[in-house]
Chain A
Amino acid sequence: MALYLLSVHGPAKRGELGGYASTEEMEKAFAATDAFNETLKTDGYWVFAGGLKEASTATVVDGQGESPVLTDGPYLETKEVIGGFWIVDAPDLDVALDLAARGSTACGGKVEVRPFEGAA
C-alpha cells in the first residue's frame, strides 16, 4: 500500500457559498462528500481528510533566517488554491485515481493525485 494526497482545487475566493452555485448545490456536495468519506473508511483507504479555510486566512512563515518572517496571505496569489484534501492508503495508482474520480464527483471540484515520498 502507498499513501497518496488527493487535493481538491477550487477558487481562491469562495464567497458565502464556498464556491458552489447555490445553497442546495453546496449542501448536496457536503452530503456526497460525507458519504464518500464513509466508504473510504469502510473500504480501508482512509488516512485523513479535511477541508481548509479560505486561502486569505493563510500565513506564510519563512524560518530560514535568524528570526521567522511572517507574511499574510497564501504563498502564491493564484485564482485556484487547495480547498481541501484526502490522504488515502491505496495499493496502486489505479485505485488512487478511481478514489480521486469518486471524490471529485462528490465534492464538485478537480482533484490532484500525488504520491507521498517514501511512504510505501
Chain B
Amino acid sequence: MITKRPLTYWVKNSNMKLQLILLVVIFFTVAVRLVPLEMQKKIINQAISMRKVDLLFMYCGFYIASVVSASLLKYLITVLQTYIGQEALAKMRKELYAHILTLPLGYFRKANPGMVVSSLVTELAPAGEYVGQSVAVPVTNLLTLIAFAGYMFYLNPIMAGISIALYPFVIYLVPKLQKKSNKANKKRVDTTRYLSSHINETISGIHEIHGNGSYRIENRKYGAFVDRLFKIRITWILYKQGIKVLNNFFQNLGPFLLFIVGGYLAIQGRFDLGALVAFLSAYEKIYDPWKELMDFYQVHNDAGVRYKRVMEYFDTKPEFELEPGDRAPVKLKGNIKVQNLGFTVSGNIRLLKQINMQLKPGEQMALVGFSGSGKSTLAQCVSQLYKYTGGSVKIDGYEVDELTKADMVHNMGIVAQAPFIFSGTIKDNLLYSCAAILEGDPEYEQKMPNRDNMIEAVQQAGIFVDVLRFGLNTLLDPEKETELSERLVRVRKNFHSDFGDRLAEHVEFYKDGKYLDYTCVAGNILFGHPNDDTFSGRDLVSNDYFQAFLKNAQLETPLLSLGRELSKQTVDILGNLPPDEVFFEQSPIPAEEFADYRQLTARINDTPLMELEDKDREMLLRLALGFVPGVHKIVALPSVLKDLILDGRKMFNSKISAEKPEAFSFYQMAEFIPSQTILDNILFGKPKTDHPKVQDAINQSMTQLLIEEDLLETVVELGMEFQVGTKGDKLSGGQRQKLAIARTFLKNPPIMIMDEATSALDNRSQNRIQGLLETKWKGKATLISVIHRLDTIKNYDKVAVMKAGKLMEVGPYDELMAKKGLLYELVHGAH
C-alpha cells in the first residue's frame, strides 16, 4: 500500500536511467570545476610572471571553456534533477489519488476535503523536490567539497589544514544559534496568533467600542500586544541575522589566515604566488557546496515531515479488492439472502442488528421506517458500500464481503439519496455507469448504448422534457446545419399559426417598433443578426462604426450611466458570494468577469462618466449592451432610454441598409436567426417567465411541432450535449435525481438499489417511475428501494419495516396492514 512506503522508496524507484546519467554528469562537473583553480595558478606562475602572452591566452581559453562548460553542466544537472523529481511527484500524486478513491465511505465522513486537496496539491510537492535532489545535491556537493579540499592539500597540506580548521567552529556554533532562533520564532508565531485573535475580537465588538468611546482602552490593550511582538521580533531577527553574520565572518576570516600564513610562506619562497591565488579561490568556492548541503538538509527535513504526515493521514486500508484478477467478474441473477446481518461502527454503535431477509431474483422490496432507523444503511451494506461487521449477505450464494468491486458494479445499479452529477454533458453523465464497467473492453463501442437507448432511458426517468429544453436552448451553426435551420423556420410558421395566440401572453415576439424587454439592449438596437463578425458578441463594443453610431444617436452617455448603475448594484449584492450558478442566473455580469467588474466599480467610484478611461468605458458599455431588463431586475430601464433606443434602432436600420447592406440580416419571419437559440427561433421571440406551468405549455407545443417535423430526436440529441456545470449545478435537484435514475435504467443491471431515489420529484414523476418499476422491471431485476414517503409502496412484492436498526416486519403490503403492526402505525401516523 502506498501509505506504507517510506520517502526513500520514491528515490529507489525513481527513473534509474536518468539517475545514472545524472551521476556521470556530476563527475564531469566536479572535474571541470577544478580546472579554473589550476588555470589561475598557471596564469600567474607561468604566463604573467614569465611574461608570455601566448600562454596567457591559452590558459585563459581553458579557463573560460571550463567556466562555460561548468555552467552548462550545472544547468544539465538541474534539468535532470527537476525531471526526476517532478516525474516522481506525478507518480506519487497519481498513486495516492488512486488509493484515496478506494478508501471506505466511512473514512470520508470524517476526512476533511480541504486536507485531501492540500495533500495532493501542495503537501506532496516538497517530497517530489526531495526525490529530485536526493542524489544530485549531496553527491555533487560532497564530491566538490572533497575535490576542493583534496586540491588544497595537494597545493599545500599545512595551509589546507589551517583553512579547514575553522569549519568545526561553524559546525558547532551555527546549530546553537539556529536553536535559539527557532525558539524565538515559535514565540513570534504564538504571539502573532494572540494578536490576530485580539484584533478579531475588537473588530467584531466595534459597536461596543464606539458606544463606550473606549478607544484608548482598546488602543492600550492592542499596544501591549504589539510591544511584546516588537521585542520578540527583534530577538528573532537578531539571531537569524547573527547566523548569517557568523557564517560571513568565518568565511572572511579564511583569507586573513591564508594571507598571513600563505604570504609569509610566499615571502620565504616556500609557496608560489599562483598557488596562493588558487588557494584563495578554492577557499571561497568551498563555501557554496557547503551552503547547498545545509539547504538540502532543510529540504530533507521538511519533505520528510510533510510526506509522513500526508501518508499517515491516508493510512487506511480499502475494504474491498477492486478487480478479481484471475477471473472475469461474476454474473449474478439477484438472489439476495441476508442472515443475522449486523453493522457496528466506531464507538460501538450498532446501526444494524440481526437482520434476516431474502429476495428471489426479480423480486421488489420497499424498505421503510423512520429516518435513522437504518434503512439506508441496510441498502448500503447489501450494495457493498459499507463493509458489514457481522452476519452475512449472500447474492446467488456469493458472500458480498468477499466479492470485488468489479463483481458488484457489473451486476448492480445504485441510485443514491443525493446522487452526484459530475461536470460534463448530460450524455457523459448518462453513460457514466456504462462507461465505468465497459472501460477497457475491446468491444467498448459496440456495447455502449446508442442514441435510441439513451432517449428511452431519458424518457423513462422523466427527464426527457428537460433535455428537450436544453436542446431547444442551443445555438445552431446554420452553415453546417442548413437543412435543419430551414426546417426550424417551418416549425416557426406552424408555431405561430397553431400556438401563437395561446402563448402570446407568455412570449415576447420580435416586433419592429416595440421595445423587447427580454432581449438585450444591443439586440434592441441592432434588431438583426450580424453577418460580419466585428459586429457580433463581445466585439460589438470595440467596433468603431458602432461606437460612432452610439455617439451620433446620443446613446453613449445614457448607456454608460446604465452600465455604471448595473455594475454598482450587482457588485453590492453579489460582492463576496461564490460563483454559483444560482447567484449569477439573474446577474448582468457573468460569473467569470465578476472580479473585473468589482475592481472597476471600486476604481470608478467617484469619477465622472466623461473622464473614464477607454478601457473602463468599454467595460461599462458592454455591460449595458448585454442588459436584459426582463431578466436582470436589479436595475430598471428608464422609459426615456427605451424610447431613445427605439429611435436608435430606426437610425441604425436605415444607416446600415444604406452603407453596409450585407453586414446585417434584420429579423424576419422567414429567416433563421443564427445568433438565437432554437427555441427563440421557433418562437420568433423570447419566453417571458420560467414558471413551470408556462414552461410546460411551451414544451408541449414544441414537442407536438417537432414531432410533426420529425425533429424531436434531433433536438433531444443536441440537448444531451448540454454542459451540466460543476457538481451539476446547472440542473435542479429533481433533474439531478432523474438523471441518476436514467443512468441506472440505461445500465439495466440485474440488481437495483434505490435510496430515496424519487424524493425530489413531484407526484406525477414519482408515480410514473414507480409504474415503470412495476411493469418493466418486476421479475427482471431485484429491487431494494428505500422509501420515505409511503404512498408508493403498495405494489411492492415485499415491504420491510425498520426501527432502530432492527427489521421489525417483512411481508406483502396488505398482509402487514392487516396485521396492524408497525407499518399500519407508520401509514396512519401514530403521531
A binds B: no
